Amino acid sequence: MSISYYGLQALKLSAESVYSFDLDFHEEGFASPIMQNRLRTLGDIGTNAPENWEWGGNDTDRANIHLLLMLFAKDDANLKQLCETFEKDFVTYQLEQVHEFFTSKMPDAKEHFGFRDSIAQPEIEGYSKKNASENVIKAGEFILGYSNEYNILPESPYAPETEDKKNILPTIANKKGYKDIGKNGTYVVFRQLEQDVKGFWSFIKKATQEVNGYDLERLGAKIVGRWRSGAPITKCPIHDNPDLAQDNDFNYAETDTDGMKCPIGAHIRRSNPRDAFMKEAKKSILFARKHRLMRRGRSYGKLFVENFDLNEILTKPDDGVKRGLYFLAVNANLGRQFNFIQQAWINDGAFQGLSHEPDVLLGSQTEVAEGEKTYFSMPQMPIRQRIETPQAYIHVRGSMNFFLPSMRTLQWIANL
Amino acid sequence: MIFQSFFTTVSNIKPDKLAELRHLLDNDINADLSNNKYIPFSKLPNVHYCRWCIVDSAKNADGSDAPPMLLFQIIFDGKREAFIKGFLQDFASGIDKIYQYCEDYPTQPTYESRYSYFRKFRRKEPLAWTAVRGGTVEQILKEEKLRRGIEVFLDKNPMQQEQPETIQQRIKAFVSNTPEYQWAMTPPSKPSVVWKLAYYSKLVLLILCGIVLSPLILVFAIFWVLLLLYYEKQDNKHIMPLKRELKPEVLKREDLLRQNQLTEYGTFKGPHWFRYTNIHILLFVSSILGKYKSTKGNLGGIETIHFVSWAIFNKNQNLSFLSNYDGGWQSYLSEFIDFAASVMNLTFGNIKGYPKTRWLLKEGAHEEQNFKMIVRAYQYPCQIWYTAYPKLRVKNILRNAAIRKGLSRKMNTQQLQNWLKLF
């Protein structure tokens, strides 16, 4: 269960406590400079703008979203039962369900375009079996109350002692007279991303005709950075190797500096540049470690084509069914983690010196709106090839941040 | 070769005219930077960046409110005096319109009195750094057009099966046969021999001075560091709590383009003479490093700064940091924290409200969220901010320059391969 900024107010946290939350978690009306800036930096403009969202896209609807409840069960029957139990509780406790999100089970952990998703996840230090891998990240990057990658405690929301008469909350470091609301809690970014499966693969099909030596699978893999199986193209650039389907043990600096295998602008390379963000690999890793997310996405909507057969996708008429991904990301510092990645790495057409190349999958359409053409280039010997990327095939349909509290904080809130 | 120059002034605003000035800058000029009737930037082809910023909540050294001030900075190609004279002449009515709201501005301005006013209120930047030395606005814009042209040529003429030499020849033929791009076949101008001689002899002189005075410098440095450590201990006892806030006036103007500006303004800690001397020493050393070491668009690991400068104002009580940078605030600040936190401590550490430091270099900017908070707290919105090439990053500019250079340069196989990778 997680709580929105408006939810904190509805749950009667004091103004001082609400203010103590991450400033990037604070909300105002969409017309405010703060929200306008947030929309710009996240790229939520044009087709991604709030007026096109299915929920939370206008001030009234948004202010009514207080809680995000996520229910998990081992099968449909159990889930149904669980939902019914909660629905009864909603009536008892005068809660109104404002939106409902159904998820679908996807074969081989794939998303709707057919790519295996969620492979590169950070592991938490102290929780992971590995000790000193560059993928093992300090707990404080994902959970409040623990040391982060700067070896300091992340900012945590707090409440005056006087608001915790039953002494439920833990004390907070360096803040006398206050208790820690955040410890063992974190922030969750929740975004609904609608995917246009037919549109995406038709675009790739057309693009294969503009370049030499690429079929659908290979061009798609170049854009994503992984084959649909999940195998990273930096390791198997010419042909898919399903044995590497869940491989996350690779870097770019030594074997793929110029992006000849995995292009600089490929989705996975720009959302986590690993050791190749800067000339010095070690520095790059240290930098990249401070901009990681723990992703827990769930797909929704019926599959467009079973087995993700590309020929069938291209020939079948569009079915008008809405499908996509509920993107869920956990981070302790919204500005430095989610917002940063979205703005500096995904949306930025000049990422690492590229020109007009926002991420093909999730990049913002700011440049297109300005009348610029956008591209995706594939470095190769002796000279690169590039394709035009005229529009987006994934559209934001809702976006909101939530605070995921610890059990203790929930208990404290219940006693307010 | 033409070099870029900075010109910075700070004027006191007549307190009762603050609102009118704000309105003029915000509504009449900023609403249409290119073609407004006062300062139409479309008629200033040699200007890289320009800003007017109202600094209305600075503090004097004793903690009292400083008068509202108008900060102006313009960065342009060519010699300072000639440019400013022309600027004040060509845009006299616009300048008069703005500065009528400032103290000491002549009521009946003439060409001479206008110029002497600007000379009087000019503040020399102890450190002014340029990412692409000698890259004029004209050259930057032309080289971008050239790159775009070649890229489209490459798109239309697939050459994956060709030899690198053939591709190079075809690109060269395309450029020399397109009237719009022919200029690019001549190499960019280089610094003159006289300039180079002066540049390197200054370095030699500095090194010699350094060697000769090294015993003195060493003794002074030890004494100075001990003093710094003493004051650090004192400072840490009274850290001012700062308001942690999102600044709507700043956010309103941020991320509208792919570049941003930062205007930071702070008050020196006490004792005043010591902080003032300290910052001068630091900025002097940094300016030498900036001039001789950080010459390739990379300032101490940060590759997103186009121009940056420091200036000292208000009877030497205030320090300002003005930068024109690529991308968003979060990533810019993250780069500072990750690559230059200790430098931030040494410089911004002289400013009131700076977070606690330890051994001068530790903590401070290493405390990420705390540091970002103080930067926001001392950040002022800029009523007017102009950039001549909002879509270009430092990296783009350097790459475009390398592409153009390659057109007229002899290259071996490896160099040619690398040149082709630029596209």
pLDDT at A130: 65
pLDDT at A132: 60
Average pLDDT over residues A287-298: 94
In the block, tokens 């200033």 appear at B44
> Chain A contact for B330, CB < 8 A?
yes
pLDDT at B1: 85
- What is the ipTM, given to two decimal places? 0.93
Length of chain B: 423
Q: Are A177 and A160 within 8 A, CB to CB?
A: yes
Residue B28 makes CB contacts below 8 A (sequence gap 6+) with B36, B37, B38
> Chain A contact for B275, CB < 8 A?
no
Looking at per-residue pLDDT, the higher value among B90 and B272 belongs to B90
Residue A191 makes CB contacts below 8 A (sequence gap 6+) with A326, A327, A396, A398, A399
pLDDT exceeds cutoff 90 at B134: no
Average pLDDT over residues B313-320: 88
Shortest Cα–Cα distance, B151 to chain A (Å): 9
Of B45, B10, B21, give the one whose Cα is nearest residue B311: B10
pLDDT exceeds cutoff 90 at A3: yes
CA distance B422 to B150: 11
Q: What residues in A contact B331, CB-CB < 8 Å? A: 340, 343-344
pLDDT exceeds cutoff 70 at B118: yes
Average pLDDT over residues A42-48: 94
- Structure confidence at residue B295 as a pLDDT band (50, 70, 90): confident
The partner residue sitting opposite B255, judged by closest CB among A41, A379, A386, is A41
Q: What is the 3 state secondary structure string of B148-181?
A: HHHHHHHHHCCCCCCCHHHHHHHHHHHHHHCCCC
- Which of B32-41, B87-96, B134-143, B237-246 has the least mean pLDDT? B237-246
Cα angle: A175, vertex A20, B361; to 5 degrees: 55
Backbone angles phi, psi at B130, to 5 degrees: -120, 130
State the DSSP code for B386: E
- Structure confidence at residue B408 as a pLDDT band (50, 70, 90): very high
Cα angle: A106, vertex A107, A109; to 5 degrees: 70
Token reading at A341? 């990645």
> Chain A contact for B366, CB < 8 A?
yes
B302 SS3 class: strand
pLDDT at A279: 86
- Which of A203-217, A337-351, B141-155, B357-371 has the least mean pLDDT? B357-371
CA distance B420 to B423: 6
pLDDT exceeds cutoff 90 at B37: yes
Length of chain A: 416
Q: What residues in B contact A339, CB-CB < 8 Å? A: 330
B113 SS3 class: helix
What pLDDT, in 10s, does the model give residues B190-221? 888 998 899 899 999 999 999 999 999 999 99
- Which of B80-94, B180-194, B196-210, B344-358 has the least mean pLDDT? B344-358
Q: Which range, A119-128, B288-297, B298-307, B398-407, has the best average confidence (pLDDT)?
A: B398-407
Q: What is the 3 state secondary structure string of chain A?
A: CEECHHHHHHCCCCHHHHHCCCHHHCCCCCCCHHHHHHHHHHCCCHHHCHHHCCCCCCHHHHHCCCEECCCCCCCHHHHHHHHHHHHHHHHHCCCCCCCCCCCCCCHHHECCCCCECCCCCCEECCCCCCCCCCCEECHHHCCCCCCCCCCCCCCCCEEEHHHCCCCCCCECCCCCCEEECCCCCEEEEEEEEEECHHHHHHHHHHHHCCCCCCCHHHHHHHHHCECCCCCECCCCCCCCCHHHCCCCCCCCCCCCCCCCCCCCCCHHHHHCCCCCCCCCHHHHHHHHCCCCCEECCEEECCCCCHHHCHHHHHHCCCCCCCCEEEEEEEECCCHHHHHHHHHHHHHCCCHHHCCCCCCCCCCCCHHHHCCCCCEEEECCCCCCEEEECCCCCEEEEEEEEEEECCHHHHHHHHCC
Average pLDDT over residues B255-261: 93
CA distance B19 to B28: 13
CA-nearest residue to B171 within chain A is: A383
Looking at per-residue pLDDT, the higher value among A128 and B205 belongs to B205
Shortest Cα–Cα distance, A376 to chain B (Å): 12
pLDDT at B168: 96
- Which of A129-133, A197-201, A383-387, B300-304 has the least mean pLDDT? A129-133
Q: What is the CA radius of gyration of chain B?
A: 24
CA distance B211 to B192: 29
Of A149, A144, A204, give the one whose Cα is nearest residue A360: A204
pLDDT at A305: 94
Number of cross-chain residue pairs from A and B with Cβ atoms under 8 Å apart: 118
Count other C-beta atoms under 10 Å from residue A126's C-beta. 10
pLDDT exceeds cutoff 60 at B7: yes
The partner residue sitting opposite B369, judged by closest CB among A41, A155, A349, is A155
Mean pLDDT score across all residues of chain B: 92
pLDDT at B297: 80
CA distance A416 to A13: 8
pLDDT exceeds cutoff 60 at B36: yes
State the DSSP code for B17: G
Average pLDDT over residues A168-180: 93
Mean pLDDT score across all residues of chain A: 94
pLDDT exceeds cutoff 90 at B239: no
Are B420 and A339 a contacting pair at CB < 8 A?
no
Average pLDDT over residues A37-65: 96
Average pLDDT over residues B224-240: 84
What pLDDT, in 10s, does the model give residues A370-403? 889 999 999 999 999 999 998 999 999 999 999 9
Are B158 and A150 a contacting pair at CB < 8 A?
no
Are A382 and B420 a contacting pair at CB < 8 A?
yes
pLDDT at A131: 57
Q: Which range, A114-123, B125-134, B166-175, B289-298, has the best average confidence (pLDDT)?
A: B166-175
Q: Which long-range contacts (CB under 8 A, 24 or more apart) does B191-194 make?
A: B191/B1, B191/B134, B192/B1
